[in-house]
Amino acid sequence: MDISVIVPLFNEAESLPELHAWIKRVMDEHGFTYEIIFVNDGSTDTSWQVIEGLAAENKEVKGICFRRNYGKSPALFCGFRKAEGDVVITMDADLQDSPDEIPELRRKIVEDGYDLVSGYKQKRYDPLSKTIPTKLFNATARAVSGIKNLHDFNCGLKAYRRDVVKNIEVYGEMHRYIPYLAKNAGFDKIGEQVVHHQARKYGKTKFGLDRFVNGYLDLMTLWFLSKFGKKPMHVFGLWGTLMFFIGFIAVIVVGASKLYALSKGIPARLVTDSPYFYIALTMMLLGTQLFVAGFLGDLISRNSEQRNDYQISKEI
């Protein structure tokens, strides 16, 4: 099969027939063999009934229905697991992503050899309250991930080589960072394509401003796991040792100052009256706790079933 199109959705009943007809027209014009996987993320409208109707009349339509709303990442994860096409396309169900972009996205995967191609909505039909935070968010994501050529990490319109979606795990709200997940899995040929962004035709957006806060927190989590997920002692142990060492030296300095004063007959206050003594003890305690945290993290990592889960591209 040439293409799998995965469409996560939540309360998009009005747009589904039009989206299906649009995808079908594009596929038939180019002679692709394909499947369309609609993932109903616990919609409370008639979205699932519409999907059942489309599937009854069109053999290429498949559907997954969640019992409740889990979010876009779980929807993509289940869609990836079900996909059978050589190239996997993801797109939103709100008609803001154009299926006319699919042939060029597929060409870049098949002919140009990209592992992942992300859409870039250079001209957006969104208010400034959304576009400005989006630009800041994408700038941060580029800096942290090291993927300098992407301008729109969160664009729902993306194309993947089949191996990519079968070797990454999208969880929580990590759908924003699929290019980063792919890079960490060893798929580093990542490209970008400018795509047309259309104004929403039906319904309203499902995302609020809280996604930017959650997005930054998820980015920090992903960065830390990619750097130290398999070697937590390297960060906790390092900082713990430094803090303990500095605190220990400070205690020695405070004690030595007291002994020097006594030896010279100089009046000196009690060691326990010095704030530096307590600061030094606190640093030693924090350093010990960080070191133990790193040690426990290493023990957990060594006993994890994924401790030797490495990405192997070829074997002979």
* Helices 210-228/233-263 angle, 10° precision: 80
For residue 197, pLDDT beyond 80: no
Is the torsion defined by CA of 210, 211, 212, 213 positive or negative?
A: positive
- Tell me what the mean pLDDT of segment 302-313 comes to: 55
For residue 237, pLDDT beyond 60: yes
pLDDT of residue 302: 66
For residue 203, pLDDT beyond 90: no
pLDDT tens digits for range 111-134 = 999 999 999 987 766 666 666 777
For residue 17, pLDDT beyond 70: yes
Which has more confidence, 311 or 25? 25
- Tell me what the mean pLDDT of segment 33-56 comes to: 95
Which has more confidence, 17 or 239? 17
Which has more confidence, 127 or 220? 220
For residue 3, pLDDT beyond 90: yes
Burial of residue 283 (number of CB atoms within 10 Å: 0-12, 13-18, 19+): buried
Which has more confidence, 276 or 113? 113
With cut-offs at 50, 70 and 90, classify the pLDDT of residue 51: very high
- Tell me what the mean pLDDT of segment 3-21 comes to: 95
Q: Percentage of the chain surpassing pLDDT 70?
A: 87
pLDDT of residue 139: 87
Is the distance from CB of 125 to CB of 48 less than 8 angstroms?
no
Q: Which residues lie below 8 Å from residue 248, measured CB to CB, with a gap of 6+? A: 280, 284
pLDDT tens digits for range 68-123 = 999 899 999 999 999 999 999 999 999 989 999 999 999 999 999 999 999 998 77
Q: Which residues lie below 8 Å from residue 78, measured CB to CB, with a gap of 6+? A: 39, 64
- Tell me what the mean pLDDT of segment 25-39 comes to: 96
pLDDT of residue 124: 66
In single-letter form, the type of residue at position 176 comes to: R
Q: What angle (nearest 5°) sits at the alpha carbon of residue 106, between those of residues 104 and 108?
A: 70
3-state secondary structure the chain: CCEEEEEEECCCCCCHHHHHHHHHHHHHHHCCCEEEEEEECCCCCCHHHHHHHHHHHCCCEEEEECCCCCCHHHHHHHHHHHCCCCEEEECCCCCCECHHHHHHHHHHHHCCCCCEEEEECCCCCCCHHHHHHHHHHHHHHHHHHCCCCCCCCCCCCEEEEHHHHHCCCCCCCHHHHHHHHHHHCCCCCEEEEECCECCCCCCCCCCCCHHHHHHHHHHHHHHHHHHHCCCCHHHHHHHHHHHHHHHHHHHHHHHHHHHHHHHCCCCCCCHHHCHHHHHHHHHHHHHHHHHHHHHHHHHHHHCCCCCCCCCCCCCC
CA–CA distances in Å: residue 309 to residues 167, 181, 185, 304: 11, 14, 10, 10
Dist CA 216 CA 218 (whole Å): 5
Phi, psi (5° rounding) for residue 288? -65, -40
Dist CA 178 CA 165 (whole Å): 9
Q: Which of 202-206, 221-225, 281-285 is predicted most confidently?
A: 281-285
For residue 252, pLDDT beyond 80: yes
In single-letter form, the type of residue at position 15 comes to: S
For residue 154, pLDDT beyond 80: yes
- Tell me what the mean pLDDT of segment 285-301 comes to: 83
pTM given for the model: 0.74
Mean pLDDT of the chain: 85
For residue 52, pLDDT beyond 60: yes
Q: Which residues of 48-69 are buried (b: 16+ CB within 10 A; e: fewer)?
A: bebbeebbeeeebbbbbebeee
CATH of 3-228, one of 3.40.710.10, 1.25.40.10, 3.30.70.260, 3.90.550.10: 3.90.550.10
Q: How many CA atoms lie within 13 A of 309 on its CB side?
A: 14
Q: Which of 34-48, 226-240, 301-315 is predicted most confidently?
A: 34-48
With cut-offs at 50, 70 and 90, classify the pLDDT of residue 310: very low
